[in-house]
Amino acid sequence: MVAAWGTFFTFGVFLKPVVTEFGWTRGTTSGALSLSTIMHGLLGVVMGRLTDRLGPRMVMTLCGFFLGLGYLLMSQISAVWQLYLFYGLIIGMGMSGAIVPLLSTVARWFTKRRSMMTGIVMTGTGIGTLIAPPVANQLISTYGWRASYIILGSVVLVVVILAAQFLRRDPAQMGQVPYGESEGREQGLKLGAEGFSLNEAVYTRQFWLFIAMSFCLAFCNFTVLVHITPHATDLGISAASAANILATVGGLSIVGRVVLGSAGDRIGNRQVFIIGFILMSAALLWLVPATEIWMLYLFAAVYGFASAGGGASASPLVAGLFGLSSHGLILGVTGLGNTTGGAIGSFLAGYIFDVTGSYQVAFLVCAAVGIVGLVLTVLLKPIRGKRR
C-alpha cells in the first residue's frame, strides 16, 4: 500500500514540471491518470477473481512488476501517446492489485475487528501520501523529474514484489482459522458459505447504491490528491509547501483510517461513510475561498481524516452486505464505481482549470458530489433475504 499508493499520488507533484517541459494542458496531462484509474478499476475485477482462486501472492507479484515498469518507462516519455501508454495503461495494470487483492485478503483473515484491521492496512495509502510527495519534490529539485521516476520505479519493483511473497489467501493455507473465528464462528461460517455470488448481488439495490457511493467518494478524493498541489502553487505557495499540504492529507488519513476503522466495528461501516461525507463536503466548501497557507493546511487535515473513513469501511461493508464467498470479485466490480469517479473527477478538474483558469468551480462540484454521496449512504439499508 505504501509503495503503490504513495508513488501513484505523486502525479500532482510531477504535473507542473511535465506540463512546463512539453507545453501540454493540465486537462490533457491529467487524462493519463484518469485512464490509469479506469484501467486499474477494470482489471481490478480480474484481479479480484484471481485472488479468490489463486491467492494474492501471484497477483501482487505480477502487478508489482507492471507498476515498477511503468514508472521506469515514464522517465523516457517525449510525446502524449507515451504518457497515456506508460502511465495510463501500464501503471493502470500495476495499480489493479493495489486495493482489491489486499483488502479481500484482510477480510478473509479477520472475522473479529475486521473494520479496524482494514483501516490499519489502509493506513499504507496515508503513509505513502505522507512520505512520497515531499520526497518526490526533493528528488525533482535535485535530479530532475526523469531521474526521479527511475528512482521511484526501482523502489516500487523491489518493495511490492518482495512483500507479495509473504501473502497468503486465507488462514487455512497455514493451518489456522480467521482471527475471532471462535468468538464469531457462526457469523463467519454464514458469511463464507452463504455469501452472495456476483450474479445474485447485482439484483440487489444495495449493490448499485454502493457503486454510486464509491463513485462520489473517489470523485472527490482524486480531484484533491491530483490538483491540490498545483492549486497551492497557483496561489503563490512554494512547491515544497504545496507538497507538504498533500502530505498532510496523507498524514491525517492515517489517523482517520485507524480511528474511523475502529469506529466501524462499533457503530457500523455505513455510519462511518456518513460521517466521512459530511466532513469532506464541509472541507471542500472551505477550500473554495481559501487563499492562505494555514487555511489550506486546515483543509488538508480535516479532509485527510474524513476521506479515510470510506477507504477503511468499504471492504468490510461489502463483506457485511454480500458475504465472503465471492468477496474479491464483488469488491472488484463495485470498485469500478471508485475508479470511474476518480477518473472523471481528476480529468474534469483539470479541464475546468483550463477553461476558467481556476479550481474554484471544480472544488464546488466536488462538494456537491460529496453531498450526493451522503444522501446515497443514508439510503443504503441491510439486505433482507437473498435473491437467486
Are 234 and 226 in contact by the 8 Å Cβ rule? The answer is no
Q: CA–CA separation, 108 vs 141, rounded Å? A: 43
132 burial type by CB count under 10 A (0-12 exposed, 13-18 middle, 19+ buried): buried
Q: CA–CA separation, 151 vs 27, rounded Å? A: 26
Residue 177 inside a domain? The answer is: no
184 burial type by CB count under 10 A (0-12 exposed, 13-18 middle, 19+ buried): middle
Task: Give the HSE-up count for residue 48: Cα atoms under 13 Å, Cβ half-sphere.
Answer: 26
Q: Which residues contact 85 (CB under 8 A, 6 or more apart)?
A: none
Model pLDDT for residues 138-193, shown as the tens digit of each residue:
999 999 999 999 999 999 999 999 999 999 887 877 778 877 776 444 444 344 44
- pLDDT mean over 99-128: 84
- The residue whose grid cell reads 493506513 is 123
Are 324 and 192 in contact by the 8 Å Cβ rule? The answer is yes
Helix axes 239-267, 114-143, angle to 10 degrees: 170
Task: State residue 350's pLDDT score.
Answer: 87
Q: Is the pLDDT of residue 53 over 80?
A: yes
What CATH number should be reported for the domain holding residue 250?
A: 1.20.1250.20
Residue 40 inside a domain? The answer is: yes
Q: Which of 91, 73, 71, 99 is nearest to 155 (CA)?
A: 71
Task: State residue 123's pLDDT score.
Answer: 84
Confidence grade of residue 194 (pLDDT, cut at 50, 70, 90): low
The amino acid present at 323, given as its one-letter code, is: G
Residue 384 inside a domain? The answer is: no
Q: Which residues contact 150 (CB under 8 A, 6 or more apart)?
A: 71, 72, 75
Residue 178 inside a domain? The answer is: no
> DSSP 3-state helix, strand, coil percentages of the chain (rounded to 5)?
80, 0, 20
Q: Which of 225, 158, 220 is nearest to 5 (CA)?
A: 225
The number of residues in the chain equals 388
Confidence grade of residue 42 (pLDDT, cut at 50, 70, 90): confident
Residue 131 inside a domain? The answer is: yes
| Grid cell listed for 377 | 449512504
More confident residue, 176 or 235: 235
pTM: predicted TM-score of the whole model, two decimal places:
0.74
Task: State residue 250's pLDDT score.
Answer: 82
Distances (CA, A) of 87 to 9, 11, 67, 193, 305: 12, 10, 9, 40, 28
Residue 253 inside a domain? The answer is: yes
Q: CA–CA separation, 279 vs 308, rounded Å? A: 11
Task: State residue 188's pLDDT score.
Answer: 40
- Mean pLDDT check: name the lowest of 107-121, 146-160, 197-211, 222-236: 107-121
199 burial type by CB count under 10 A (0-12 exposed, 13-18 middle, 19+ buried): exposed
- Mean pLDDT check: name the lowest of 58-67, 99-108, 280-289: 99-108
Percent of the chain with pLDDT over 70: 96
Q: Is the pLDDT of residue 300 over 80?
A: yes
- 3-class DSSP state of 110: strand
| Grid cell listed for 184 | 464469531
Q: Which of 106, 108, 103 is nearest to 172 (CA)?
A: 108
* Structural domains counted in the chain: 1
Q: Which of 282, 275, 283 is nearest to 312 (CA)?
A: 275
More confident residue, 71 or 387: 71
Model pLDDT for residues 23-38, shown as the tens digit of each residue:
888 888 888 888 898 8
Task: State residue 189's pLDDT score.
Answer: 38
Q: CA–CA separation, 25 vs 132, rounded Å? A: 24
On average, the pLDDT of the chain sits at 87
- Mean pLDDT check: name the lowest of 79-83, 106-110, 190-194, 255-259: 190-194
More confident residue, 348 or 329: 348
Domain limits for position 222: 2-169+188-379
Task: Give the HSE-up count for residue 53: Cα atoms under 13 Å, Cβ half-sphere.
Answer: 7
- 3-class DSSP state of 179: strand
Residue 47 inside a domain? The answer is: yes
Confidence grade of residue 257 (pLDDT, cut at 50, 70, 90): confident
Residue 179 inside a domain? The answer is: no
Q: Which residues contact 388 (CB under 8 A, 6 or more apart)?
A: 200
